[in-house]
Amino acid sequence: MSSTVGSDRTSARFPDRSGKRIPDLRADRTTRARIRDAAIARFPQDGFAGTTVRDIAADAGVSPALVIHHFGSKSRLREACDHHVIEVLGETKRQALHDGTYRQGGTLAALYQVMEPITRYLAWALGSGGESSQRIFDELLEDVIGQLRELEADGLMSPMRDRHRQAATLLVMQLGPLVLHEHFSRTMGVDTLSAEGMLTTAPFMLRIFSGELVNPQFLSEVGSALAEVETRGSYSRKRK
């Protein structure tokens, strides 16, 4: 009711003394922020309905009533979490554009190394529908499209016909390891979200994207089979 500021500034007691408007994502250790972070950690773990206001309050070291006081309701708390994560995502992207991180894998890779809870929340939010889930996906999609365009312009990638759809396909495949990081880590033997894990998995991914795995003959076979289906309407099986 009282403090419904979207991006809560650092410490309500120190109303921005310096003109700094960049939200320092580490320093805002407001109680409000602590509650929000507790929720961001809980929702991916137990789900929205599975997380109780009392759980969040306990994690943040406050009373359940305070959670409601700050965010109005449980679902508005979730909206705040979504908003916050989207903001961090955008901030990371903006920052990644200024140092070299961007060219080495884009926003996602940069995010991995920044804050794990955010990444976890992102993966969860993407999986469990909703409108901000769409917004997150679209934001990531725009990111990939921009990356592709840039790589094309630099001659590092072949120009493609339908860049939008190609980017979407690329994105969902890139997000697979993120959303399923639990299983992925277990199988790979490292935490695939960590820096070490990314170095471990990179060669395997490279081998996929390079096309060195599949035999050219096999590829052209499948390709022509697909072309055939496209021209006709039906699908005639073709072995060997």
Partner DNA sequence: CGACTTCTTGAACAAACGTTTAGGATCCTG
Partner DNA sequence: CAGGATCCTAAACGTTTGTTCAAGAAGTCG
- Using the rule CB under 8 A, is 114 a contact of its own copies? no
Q: Three-class SS of residue 28?
A: coil
**Per-residue interface string for the shown chain with DNA, residues 7-26, x marking contact by CB under 7 A:** ---x-xx-------------
13 phi/psi in degrees, rounded to 5: -80, -20
- Using the rule CB under 7 A, is 29 a contact of DNA? no
- Using the rule CB under 7 A, is 61 a contact of DNA? yes
Contact 78, 56 (CB under 8 A): no
Q: Which of 14, 70, 13 is nearest to 37 (CA)?
A: 70
Amino acid at 112: Y
Alpha-carbon distance of 53 to 50, in angstroms, equals 10
- Residue 36, classified by CB atoms within 10 Å of its CB into exposed (0-12), middle (13-18) or buried (19+), is buried
- Using the rule CB under 8 A, is 27 a contact of its own copies? no
Please pick, from the candidates 27, 65, 97, 214, the single residue that binds DNA as defined by CB under 7 A.
Answer: 65
Choose among DNA, its own copies, none what residue 172 binds, the Cβ cut-off being 5 to 8 Å by kind: its own copies
Choose among its own copies, DNA, none what residue 180 binds, the Cβ cut-off being 5 to 8 Å by kind: its own copies
Please pick, from the candidates 50, 54, 75, 224, the single residue that binds its own copies as defined by CB under 8 A.
Answer: 50
Least Å distance, CB 220 to its own copies, is 9
- Using the rule CB under 8 A, is 207 a contact of its own copies? yes
Of the ranges 51-59, 86-94, 157-165, 193-201, which one interacts with DNA (CB under 7 A)? 51-59
Output the CA–CA distances (angstroms, integers) from residue 126 to 20, 103, 118, 178, in the order listed. 32, 24, 12, 10
Contacts for 157-161 with beta carbons within 8 Å, 24 or more apart? none
- Using the rule CB under 7 A, is 59 a contact of DNA? no
Other C-beta atoms within 10 Å of 82: how many? Answer: 21
**Per-residue interface string for the shown chain with its own copies, residues 56-95, x marking contact by CB under 8 A:** ----------------------------------------
Residues that bind DNA (CB under 7 A): 1-3, 5, 10, 12-13, 31-32, 51-54, 61-70, 73-75
